[in-house]
Chain A
Amino acid sequence: MIETAETSKERVISIRNLEMSYGSKPILQGIDLDVYEGQIIGYIGPNGAGKSTTVKIMLGLVEGYQGEVRIFGRDIADGDIEYKRRIGYVPEVAELYDSLTAQEYLGFVGELYGLTQRKADHKARRLMTKFGLEEVYFDRISSFSKGMRQKVLLISSLLHNPDILFLDEPLSGLDANSVMIVKEILAALAAEGKTIFYSSHIMDVVEKISSRILLLNGGQIVADGSFEELREQSHERSLEQIFNDLTGFHEYKDVAASFVSIVQEV
């Protein structure tokens, strides 16, 4: 599998027997995972499979898990938060302090990552310009459209040139041209040796940009490999079909048919 091919590269994330539950509800039931530098990992699974929870545990946002999580070789539970300096994060919901202007927000985040204020400002401004947002750099984020907010979030996750990127639906709200740009950016970053952890519900995109796909279902990894490998194993043509197959969901045609029949009774 992937691991053997990649052993020459540095192992950046290593998860052993990760378990997590909210109250009595189990979320993660024993995740084992090794991630190497330069990989773009498509992290997919149905709602509630535990995708966000895994990412949040790695970022230290969620506590109370069992098992071991190592990032850059260090156990993240050891209390040293320095590893976060090499991580960029785009959360699922576009959460930011939107009463601030883009300049203020990006400057703030940059400084939290240890950049000087001038450097953060300079860099943020040029990145905003590349996304065509130079005009609104001094405007409040609350006036931004969904796509503009998403771009600000992407920039805020990249300002400090991180080695690992956690992206949760990073393309939501972006127009087709911006999607092209971001996809290119991700590919280029991976080529530079950065690791990208990408979770999304849009299978076409995941299929195209991922070098390795992880499918999570019911708190367990049920598939792990490149798209070609998964296709060979399951004899399906698209990632969408593989997804349906592995999550045991076959009746989509029946559901659709009965849905339409309900629509048609007036």
Chain B
Amino acid sequence: MGTIKWLRMLDPLRNVFEKFGVDYPVMRKILEIKLLMDGRRAPTLLQKSSKNADPATMSNQFIKSLWIYIVLSLVLVPLVAMKMNFMFQMSLVFGILMFMITTSMISDFSSVLLDVRDRNILFSKPVQRKAINMAKLLHVAIYLLLLTGSLTVLPLLVGLYRHGILFFLLFIVEIILMDVFIVVLTAALYWLVLRFFDGEKLKDIINYVQIGLTIAMTVGYQFISRLFNLMDVKVAFTAKWWELFIFPTWFASSFEWLLGEGGNMYVIIFSVLSVVGPLAALWIYSLLMPSFERNLQKLATHQARGKMNRLRLADRLSVLFCRGNIERLFFRFSWDMMGRERDFKLKVYPQLGFSLIFPFIFMFNILRSNSGFAAMREGRGYLFVYFCAMMIPTIVLMLRFSGSSKGAWIYQTIPLRDSAPIYKGAVKAMIARLFGPVFVFQAVVFLFIFGARIIPDLVVILLSVLLYTVISFMVLDKELPFSRPFQNTQSGSTFVFLGLMILLGVFAGAHLGFTFLAYGKYLWMLLLLVFNFIAWKLAFRKGSLNHLTYD
């Protein structure tokens, strides 16, 4: 079809491939189709911006996402630039590189490596396995080349400038070895999971890696500035035997050995391992390949039967928090949907991650600028817990989305006069399942830091957040839970969101204000109770919410 022009660059190698017994035209065709399909996939990091993209502009989303990796690689620049201890700084560099490449391999490329359709579509055609495997290999190689290239182009140039050509060349060699190692490691991970579990479990694991990647990337930015401070630190590195198992040190050792202070025994062993390790892994991988292919068949099947659990947490909570059977029913329904649906988790759980981390980031900033831990304990730093409510408007809005939104026809067919209990149950389940654990975690940590005196404050915060949730629900557009596809997450409520963020500030401010009054916080607590009572009644009063269509 010739849609992907640059594949012609492979053509001069045609003879090489054919020498290995690969049917070149067929392999190129498969590779081309695979790349074409990639262009129509949105990578994890760009999900937000690509939501409304029409098919034409969707192409090459991955290529467009590469600039993010170039920006991210800025973290590595000071680490490469400093002239301190090669073992230390390059271990960090390779540690970060390995983390980034492995996670994005798993999150963005698993669907490619684990495409079960290949079996039925390709294997049933008169195509040699060799051609299929070679196409797969090249596909991964191209992807890794682009990913690694954009992550390392800046560090490589900085290294060339600071440490000279030898460093530059060594860096390239070690990066290639690392890539080989990562590919094999990832495949081994899949192999292990598939061997003991089925495809569903693997999809879950990939899902969690995607969530982790999204959180790590965002939090990573927060630490860039802090990393610069490391440059003043003097580190004396002495290799120890257990570092044998920390793979990044392998790749850093050669720098220490050849360019740094020379090597002791460990440094030399590690350096050798950085070459032997990846090659050995590759050899083992080629041995395991047939077993891997066989296990891949399990992806399509689901063997593990679901466990039947009688006394479920959701059942008890629904009785505790909800009145009326319909409300309880939708509490349990929403609880299950939020926990099961991978798309939903991928979109929402990173938000939870931020909520979990932001209060601490702010607290550490205080800690650094202020006089110290003891002084902070006396202060009102616990008000940072309010930051964890930043997720509330987003998840209230997200509650309407689902990967299986077509199932929402069920709302129209059930004989339900009033849809208020549906919303009420769903919002309560959201608080219990998503906000609850985050808040409990924060409360425990902050209690540990500030002592029992903040218990009333935590109650105030909880009441504020409950009120905040119901207000968010009232001002945002209402749609039945899990009734919209993720394609149109973009909505015109930016200003509403801004307003809600300010409102959260108002809540925190009010709390702060009342703490200056004697018994102020108890008064505020009482007022919040009354406000909550009124707001929840008002938001979910009978007939206030029409049966909305889901189309």
A interface residue numbers (CB < 8 A to B): 59-61, 63, 81-85, 87, 89, 91, 95-97, 99-100, 104, 107-109, 111-114, 117, 140
Interface residues of A, dominant DSSP: mixed
A97 touches B55 (CB 8 A): no
* B123-148 Cβ-contact flags toward A at 8 Å (1 or 0): 11111100000000000000000000
Q: Which residue of A lies closest to B127 (CB)?
A: A112
B126 touches A82 (CB 8 A): yes
What are the residues of chain A within 8 A of B294 when measuring CB–CB? 63
Question: Can you spell out 20 A-B residue pairs with CB atoms less than 8 angstroms apart?
Answer: A59-B123, A61-B119, A61-B120, A61-B123, A63-B294, A81-B126, A81-B128, A82-B126, A84-B124, A84-B125, A84-B126, A91-B120, A97-B117, A100-B36, A109-B125, A112-B125, A112-B126, A113-B125, A113-B126, A117-B1
* B27-69 Cβ-contact flags toward A at 8 Å (1 or 0): 0011001001100110000000000000100000000000000
B26 beta carbon closer than 8 Å to chain A? yes
B: number of interface residues (CB 8 Å): 23
Given contact pairs A95-B116, A108-B29, a sample of 15 additional A-B residue pairs in the complex whose CB atoms are under 8 Å apart = A61-B119, A63-B294, A81-B128, A84-B125, A84-B126, A87-B124, A97-B37, A97-B117, A97-B121, A111-B26, A112-B30, A113-B125, A113-B126, A117-B1, A140-B55
B41 touches A95 (CB 8 A): no
Interface residues of B, dominant DSSP: helix
Q: Give chain B nearest CB distance to A108 CB in angstroms.
A: 5
A99 touches B37 (CB 8 A): yes
Q: Give chain B nearest CB distance to A96 CB in angstroms.
A: 7
Q: Give chain A nearest CB distance to B4 CB in angstroms.
A: 12
What are the residues of chain B within 8 A of A100 when measuring CB–CB? 33, 36-37
B117 touches A112 (CB 8 A): no
Query: Known: A84-B124, A112-B127. Is A99-B41 also a contact (CB below 8 A)?
Result: yes
What are the residues of chain A within 8 A of B116 when measuring CB–CB? 95
Q: Give chain A nearest CB distance to B202 CB in angstroms.
A: 18
B289 beta carbon closer than 8 Å to chain A? no
User: How many Å lie between the Cα of A85 and that of B123 in the bound state?
Assistant: 12
B162-221 CB contacts (< 8 Å) to partner A: none
User: How many Å lie between the Cα of A85 and that of B126 in the bound state?
Assistant: 5
Q: Give chain A nearest CB distance to B179 CB in angstroms.
A: 27
Query: Known: A95-B117, A104-B36, A140-B55. Is A111-B29 also a contact (CB below 8 A)?
Result: yes
B548 beta carbon closer than 8 Å to chain A? no
Q: Give chain B nearest CB distance to A154 CB in angstroms.
A: 14
What are the residues of chain A within 8 A of B37 when measuring CB–CB? 97, 99-100
What are the residues of chain B within 8 A of A96 when measuring CB–CB? 117, 121
B122 beta carbon closer than 8 Å to chain A? yes
A97 touches B33 (CB 8 A): yes
Q: Give chain A nearest CB distance to B528 CB in angstroms.
A: 44
B29 touches A112 (CB 8 A): yes
Q: Give chain B nearest CB distance to A167 CB in angstroms.
A: 13
User: How many Å lie between the Cα of A113 and that of B125 in the bound state?
Assistant: 6
Taking a contact as CB atoms closer than 8 A, the residue among B1, B29, B121, B127 that contacts A95 in the complex is B121
A112 touches B26 (CB 8 A): yes
**Nearest 5 interchain pairs by C-beta:** A84-B126, A85-B126, A112-B125, A99-B40, A89-B124
Query: Known: A100-B36, A107-B1, A108-B33. Is A59-B124 also a contact (CB below 8 A)?
Result: yes
Query: Known: A60-B123, A84-B125. Is A104-B117 also a contact (CB below 8 A)?
Result: no
What are the residues of chain A within 8 A of B120 when measuring CB–CB? 61, 89, 91, 95
What are the residues of chain A within 8 A of B29 when measuring CB–CB? 108, 111-112
User: How many Å lie between the Cα of A235 and that of B407 in the bound state?
Assistant: 46
Q: Which residue of A lies closest to B131 (CB)?
A: A112
What are the residues of chain B within 8 A of A114 when measuring CB–CB? 126
